[in-house]
Homo-oligomer: A and B are copies of this chain.
Amino acid sequence: MPYVNIRITKEGATAEQKAELIKGATDLLVRVLNKNPATTVVVIDEVDTDNWGIGGETVTVLRRR
């Protein structure tokens, strides 16, 4: 029944990589807490680098350095 939300910058993650994240996060909940995988939901949000900030700056600016 867990809900996992993974938020990353939109920088080219492939469908295969996203499927791996979903599989890996589900397995983690099963392994550590014995959760039921059938009702474990994982949602990935890919966020534009203009909309993600760290250290007070956007990732767009950080990537230019």
List chain A positions with a Cβ less than 8 A from chain B.
1-9, 13, 15, 17-29, 31-33, 35, 37-47, 50-61
Q: Is the CB of A19 within 8 A of B59?
A: no
With contacts A33-B13, A45-B47, A47-B45 taken as known, whether A56 is within 8 angstroms of B22 at the C-beta atoms is: yes
* CB–CB A4/B4 < 8 A: yes
**A8: contacting residue among B22, B33, B57, CB under 8 A:** B33
A58 CB to nearest B CB, Å: 5
Q: Is the beta-carbon distance between B19 and A57 smaller than 8 angstroms? A: yes
Q: Which residues does chain B contribute within 8 Å of A27, judged by CB atoms?
A: 56
Contacting residues, chain B, for A46 (C-beta < 8 A): 51
